[in-house]
């Protein structure tokens, strides 16, 4: 009798233990398949469901960025390559976090009330949308088969340049592995700094994270999956506004402020930043006092920091480098970042700094 009771108790314990093990929400990443394996209880049927979500990072992006000048306007051009060995087409390209919101010129005002003058308000609202779209089309352009746009976060004071696949059946299916695509352009007056391009691959079920239980566990897991669901590639982008009216000292101060972000994103070491800052601290007051010899010496020292590390980097290459120097994806995880120490000064940072210093020098020499 004791043996029978013991056997039944053991079987019951094993059964409960197995049930508890199976009845456990989980999300596990399988790197060999590039899949998240999800296991959860359906909130309506209470059935346990297995689902997979394909990560959108099976791409191998490399981006060549260049700048051409036409009067006051700068045109930023991007050639995006999906290198051999990728498993997905590149389908989303987003240069994000530009730290400003552009003013739309001649933006029509909305002066009427939607409650009391609905027809007038509707027309004014439509006129404003039309003006914003027209402005957007002058700033960001896409190659055939792609759509281009500006995304503005008024609260954060940030703008992003976005390219996505077109909606027609004849439009692009993205940049295939082993192929490249040109024609992604941005036209602005701001001088170059370094921004990060958010890229994702094309998958069959892009909304595969919908329908999960509304629980703290799954909210946290979705955040974790989405945080690892893209790659970042640094590019030159219009980041540093030119003061109007022009003030050379203020422009140099803005350039210095942007350079402070470089160690955080792996573009420069803290030792290099310290040396750059010493020269900026000479350059800024020299420009403010119109002390040209001292300003010229400080700019020469800043340029030397760049060319000592990139000896072939002359003024021409600051604007348009050759395609062997395309930027590749930054390390994503803490382990990858710790295994990839920041260079003393990467080539993209050196290019931006040389381009901006050339602008300062030209304005100083011309007396404008």
pLDDT of residue 318: 82
pLDDT of residue 210: 84
Q: What is the band of 19 on the pLDDT scale with cuts at 50, 70, 90?
A: very low
CA distance 2 to 6: 6
Average pLDDT of the residues in 313-336: 80
The b-or-e profile of 85-103 (16+ CB within 10 A means b, else e) is: ebebbbbbbbbbebbeebe
CA distance 65 to 320: 7
Q: Which of 24-38, 65-79, 198-212, 277-291 has the highest mean pLDDT?
A: 277-291
* pLDDT tens readout for residues 92-109: 999 987 998 888 888 888
pTM (predicted TM-score): 0.86
Q: Which of 113-117, 230-234, 323-327 has the highest mean pLDDT?
A: 230-234
Average pLDDT, the chain: 88
User: What are the tokens at 352?
Assistant: 């931006």
Provide the H-helix boundaries in the chain: 2-22, 118-139, 216-227, 248-259, 270-288, 292-309, 315-319, 334-338, 347-366
Residues 170 and 235: beta-carbon distance below 8 Å: no
What is the Cα 181 distance to its own chain's centre? 18
pLDDT of residue 223: 92
pLDDT of residue 263: 92
| Structure-token match 């992604």, residue found | 184
pLDDT of residue 167: 81
pLDDT of residue 23: 54
* pLDDT tens readout for residues 145-196: 999 999 989 888 999 999 999 888 778 899 999 999 999 999 999 999 999 9
CA distance 169 to 197: 26
pLDDT exceeds cutoff 50 at 219 = yes
pLDDT exceeds cutoff 70 at 9 = no
* pLDDT tens readout for residues 36-79: 999 998 878 888 999 999 999 999 999 999 999 888 899 999 99
User: What are the tokens at 75?
Assistant: 């045109």
- Residue 74's nearest CA partner among 196, 191, 245, 214 is 191
């Amino acid at each position: 009798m004791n043996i029978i009771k013991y056997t039944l108790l053991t079987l019951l314990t094993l059964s409960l233990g197995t049930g508890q093990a199976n009845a456990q929400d989980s999300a596990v990443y399988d790197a060999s398949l590039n899949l998240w394996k999800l296991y959860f209880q359906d909130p309506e049927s209470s059935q346990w469901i297995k689902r997979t979500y394909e990560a959108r990072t099976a791409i191998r992006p490399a981006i060549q960025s260049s700048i051409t000048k036409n009067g006051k306007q700068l045109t930023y051009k991007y050639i995006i390559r999906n290198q051999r060995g990728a498993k997905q087409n590149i389908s989303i390209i987003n240069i994000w976090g530009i730290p400003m919101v552009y003013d739309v010129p001649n933006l029509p005002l909305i002066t009427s009330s939607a409650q009391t003058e609905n027809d007038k308000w509707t027309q004014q609202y439509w006129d404003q949308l039309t003006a914003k779209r027209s402005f957007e089309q002058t700033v960001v352009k896409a190659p055939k088969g792609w759509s281009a746009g500006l995304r503005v976060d008024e609260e954060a004071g940030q703008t992003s340049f976005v390219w996505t696949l077109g909606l027609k059946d004849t439009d692009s299916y993205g940049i295939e592995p082993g192929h490249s695509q040109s024609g992604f352009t941005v036209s602005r007056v701001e001088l170059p700094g370094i921004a990060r391009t958010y890229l994702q691959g094309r998958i069959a079920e892009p909304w595969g994270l919908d329908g999960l239980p509304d629980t703290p566990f799954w909210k946290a897991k979705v955040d974790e999956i989405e945080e690892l669901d893209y790659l970042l590639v640094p590019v030159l982008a219009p980041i540093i506004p030119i003061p109007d009216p022009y003030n050379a000292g203020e422009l140099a101060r803005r350039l210095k402020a942007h350079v402070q972000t470089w160690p955080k994103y792996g573009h420069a070491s803290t030792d290099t930043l310290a040396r750059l800052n010493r020269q900026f601290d000479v350059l800024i007051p020299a420009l403010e006092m119109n002390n040209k010899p001292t300003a010229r010496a400080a700019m020469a020292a800043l340029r030397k920091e760049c060319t000592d590390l990139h000896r072939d980097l002359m003024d021409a290459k600051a604007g348009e480098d050759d395609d062997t120097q395309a930027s590749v994806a930054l390390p994503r995880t803490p382990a990858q970042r710790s295994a990839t120490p920041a260079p003393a000064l990467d080539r993209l940072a050196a290019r931006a700094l040389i381009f901006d210093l050339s602008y300062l020098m030209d304005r100083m020499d011309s007396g404008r």
